[in-house]
Structures are given as C-alpha cells and as structure tokens.
Amino acid sequence: MKVAKFGGSSVASAGQFRKVAHIVLSDEQRRIIVVSAPGKRFKEDIKMTDLLIQLANKVTNGDSCDDVFTAVMERYEEIAEGLELSSEIIEKIKADLKKIIDNYKNEPERLMDALKASGEDNNAKLMAFYFNHLGHEAHYVNPKEAGIFVTDEPGNAQILPESYEKLKDLKKRTGILVIPGFFGYSKTGHIVTFPRGGSDITGSIVAAGVGAEVYENFTDVDSIYCVNPSIVDNPRKLKELTYREMRELSYSGFSVFHDEALEPVYRAGIPVCVKNTNNPEAPGTWIVAERDHKEQPIAGIASDTGFCSINISKYLMNREIGFGRKVLQILEDEGISYEHTPSGIDNMSIILRAAQLEGEKEQRIIDRIQTELNVDDIHVERNLALIMVVGEGMEQTVGVAAKATMAFAKANVNIEMINQGSSEVSMMFGVKEEAVNRAVKALYEVYF
C-alpha cells in the first residue's frame, strides 16, 4: 500500500484535480491519499490557507468579511465547475464555513484553527466526490475518524503516539481513502492545525500508521534539488537523500518538504519519494535511511533569512559556572527558542529567529541579562541569514570547510559566524542577509 500526499500546487485547480486522479488511478497501490488546501495557480495567486487566515482575522476584528468569504468560495466553485460536479458539494462547503464562523466567532484561536483546517477538509471532500463522480469507490475520511489525535497547541499541534494504533484500521477499509492534511483533533475534540506546510506531516503520520511501502509526496518540481531553484538556475537534481540530511535541509530552508514530516516515516523505516504531479514519469527524489555518499559527500545547501544574534561579552565568563544556563533560562522564561549558541572564552552568542524578539520583549531580555548576569556588553545584531551545508560524507572528507571559506572569500562575503561539529552531517555559516544568495551561489560552484 502506498500513501500519496498531494500538495497545494497539485490540487489548486480542476486541471490539477484531473492529474491527481490520473496518478492515483494508474497504480492500485495508491490507496490512501492526503490532500492540501488549494495552493497557488500562478505566482501572484493567494493560497487558500492565506485567504482563510484573512477571513478568521476579519471575523475576529468584527470587520466585514463578505469579500474574502466570496474569494474562498470562488476557488471551490471554479474547481467544482471545471470538473462538472453537481452544485450540491459547493452548497455543503458554504454551509460548513458559515457554521464554523458561527460556532467560533467568540473564540479567536479556535476560529483560526477551524477555518485554516477547513481549507484541506473541504478540498478532501471535493476530491472524494470527484472520484465518485468518475465512478470509483472513494471515501472522505475525517482525521478524527482516522485517529489523528494531537496536542492542543493551536497552529502548532504535535501527534499523540496513541494515534498510530488506531490508524492501522485504515488498512481494512475499501476504496480510495481521501484524508485532509494539516490538522488533527485534541483529546477534548477540538480541531488543531499543524505548523504551516503541515499536510506533509499528516501524510507521514498516515504512512507510518498503516505501514505503507512508500510515502509519496507529490509537489510541483521533478525532484529535490541540491539548492533552492529560486536561487540557482537549474541546480543539480538529487536522486537520494538520507532522513538526517533531509531533516537538516528542510529545517534550514528547503521548503519542499516539512522538516517535522520526517520523524514518523523515519521511525517506521518507510522511504519517502518526492515526485512531480505535473510530470509523474520523472523518478523524483528518494529519502532513505542510508545512501552511498562517496561520489557526492555534500547533499545540499539550504539557506534562510530573518535571524538575529544576541551577542554577550563578559570578562572571565569562562570561570562563571552556570552562566550559559542562566542566559538560556531567561530566554525560556520569555518562551523563546534558539537555533545556535556559539561561544568563546568571554563571549556567547545566541542565534534565534528575529520575529521572536520584538518590541518590549527584546528590551526586557536585554535588561534582564544585563542586570542579572552583570555582563560587560550585550547587543543584538539583526538581518542575519543562516546557510547550512549538509552531507553524510562531510565527516570523512577533508577540505569541506576550506572550500566554503574560499568560496565566501571569492564572492566577497564576510562570514559572521561558523558552527561546525555539533551535527555530524552539517556545517552552519551566518552571513548578512544581503549577501546570502551570493554566498549560496558561490558554495554551489565549489561543491557541485
């Protein structure tokens, strides 16, 4: 049995629905499919999830929301009409949306999650309806019925382990099962969404639950490339990646696959195949436990912007037992997660996503570190980008770092910080945001 997830771009229009049906029906092992909400049809288009977020915000703020409601409905109408489906399904979707707004209009967090989830939920209903219309047995399966139980953290759900036992029952069912991605149910029965891009997570959970032979992740590119194709034209395609490599790369900027989607399939030993809905004949990229890395020690280069660094100096910091813990405790008190903490004898830097450090919070943290730890200097450096060079062969290959520093020098990029050694498969470089694409291109030249 195969579990196939179709991303937003794969289910964005009637034409894309047809391609999905063709792919699913061409292999009888593709028994369970997970769908996202309609994604972008063209570059400037708005994803359904973003429309639904706008809708939730308007309802919460008491603003008129007729325009966004209409825009949401138009997306489904366009798909249903293009597939020549009866209007009955559209009426159901409209009624469902109205009910959500009515039920949760005074609970902003629940409203947001329920509306976000409705994007995938209604698309799954539409997809199952389409298969039926084509004369095939297909069933929409709600995540509660499937057994996807999650923590009650709105917008940030995590799977509860007991889900896996219940998910096994899906194997007994007949026909094509269509499950909406992106959300599960809390133990108290509330809809809770995964982080953005989380339909990949649903697909992985379902694949692990039913012990699928493969988890196929259908998207809009022929493969995973060794570098983001919007930075380098026509980069090298990757045939294979290990789970470890993919986790590091997706966490650090390869948005094609969600980093949290690897854990369930990794634990269950299920290979992932990333494929293109628009070109299903292409072999795609396999994510597996091990790969032969002799020929290609470096798998990829990922990058992301929007980081900052809290730089702290204190003379004799090295003698002060517990200094690092106290700094991190202050961040924990403020609910802040950090990425890296490079340190020297009298210095420590904490690198984190800049969006977490805004307004009063920033000042409060600086004041606390200053007064409670009596530091000599503390300042925040903004506009940082992180670049991650990732590869299983990195440890056994001499000169990986040297190649990178040479490439940076040639491209006139100043390295703000380096972190190597804590992960066996990656090396991190911090650079100024304005230099990041130049730096990535230079790295691509030396490694590929």
Ligand X SMILES: N[C@@H](CC(=O)OP(=O)(O)O)C(=O)O
Ligand Y SMILES: Nc1ncnc2c1ncn2[C@@H]1O[C@H](COP(=O)(O)OP(=O)(O)O)[C@@H](O)[C@H]1O
CB closer to ligand X, 47 vs 291:
47
Choosing among ligand X, ligand Y, none, which partner's interface includes residue 118 (Cβ < 5 to 8 Å by kind)?
Answer: none
3-class secondary-structure state, position 272: strand
- 204-243: contacts with ligand Y (CB under 6 A): 219-221, 224-225, 228-230
Where b means 16+ CB within 10 Å and e means fewer, 324-354 reads: eeebeebbeeeebebbbbbbeebbbbbbbeb
Residue of 92, 98, 129 lying closest to 114 (CA atoms): 98
347, β-bridge pairs:
313
Please name the residues in contact with 90: beta carbons below 8 A apart, sequence gap of 6 or more.
73, 76, 77, 80
Only one of the segments 34-42, 282-290, 391-399, 410-418 lies at the binding site for ligand X (rule: CB under 6 A); that segment is 34-42
In the complex, the smallest distance separating the C-beta of residue 347 from ligand Y, rounded to whole angstroms, is: 33
One of 17, 182, 266, 307 touching ligand X (CB under 6 A): 182
In the complex, the smallest distance separating the C-beta of residue 73 from ligand Y, rounded to whole angstroms, is: 21
Q: Please give the Cα distance from 229 to 282 (Å, whole number).
A: 17
CB closer to ligand Y, 5 vs 314:
5
Find the length of the chain. 448
In the complex, the smallest distance separating the C-beta of residue 236 from ligand Y, rounded to whole angstroms, is: 10
| Contact call for residues 234 and 294 (beta carbons, < 8 A) | no
Choosing among ligand X, ligand Y, none, which partner's interface includes residue 198 (Cβ < 5 to 8 Å by kind)?
Answer: ligand X
Choosing among ligand X, ligand Y, none, which partner's interface includes residue 228 (Cβ < 5 to 8 Å by kind)?
Answer: ligand Y
Cα separations (Å) of 32 from 160, 176, 206, 378?
21, 6, 8, 53
The dihedrals phi and psi of 411, each to the nearest 5 degrees, come to -90, 5
Chain residue at closest Cβ approach to ligand X? 8
CB closer to ligand X, 53 vs 400:
53
Q: Show the tokens assigned to 148.
A: 């996807």
Q: Is 264 in the site for ligand X (CB under 6 A)?
A: no
6 a known binding residue? Answer: yes
Only one of the segments 197-205, 207-215, 284-292, 345-353 lies at the binding site for ligand X (rule: CB under 6 A); that segment is 197-205
5 a known binding residue? Answer: yes
116 a known binding residue? Answer: no
Residue of 45, 33, 3, 50 lying closest to 127 (CA atoms): 33
- 48-77: contacts with ligand X (CB under 6 A): 49
Q: Please give the Cα distance from 23 to 1 (Å, whole number).
A: 15
Pairing of the two strands 138-140 and 30-35: unpaired
| Contact call for residues 71 and 51 (beta carbons, < 8 A) | yes
| Contact call for residues 48 and 126 (beta carbons, < 8 A) | no
Choosing among ligand X, ligand Y, none, which partner's interface includes residue 229 (Cβ < 5 to 8 Å by kind)?
Answer: ligand Y
CB closer to ligand Y, 118 vs 277:
277
Chain residue at closest Cβ approach to ligand Y? 7
- 106-125: contacts with ligand Y (CB under 6 A): none
99 a known binding residue? Answer: no
Q: Is 7 in the site for ligand X (CB under 6 A)?
A: yes
Residue of 308, 217, 209 lying closest to 268 (CA atoms): 209
Please name the residues in contact with 46: beta carbons below 8 A apart, sequence gap of 6 or more.
40, 71
Only one of the segments 191-199, 290-298, 302-310, 392-400 lies at the binding site for ligand X (rule: CB under 6 A); that segment is 191-199
In the complex, the smallest distance separating the C-beta of residue 204 from ligand X, rounded to whole angstroms, is: 11
Where b means 16+ CB within 10 Å and e means fewer, 184-213 reads: bbbeeebbbbbebbbbbbbbbbbbbbbebe
Question: Which residue positions form the known binding site for substrate?
Answer: 49, 120
List of residues contacting ligand X (CB under 6 A): 7-8, 36-37, 39, 47, 49, 119, 181-182, 196-200
List of residues contacting ligand Y (CB under 6 A): 7-10, 36, 39, 197, 219-221, 224-225, 228-230, 254-256
Question: Which residue positions form the known binding site?
Answer: 5-8, 49, 120, 219-220, 225
Question: Which residue positions form the known binding site for ATP?
Answer: 5-8, 219-220, 225
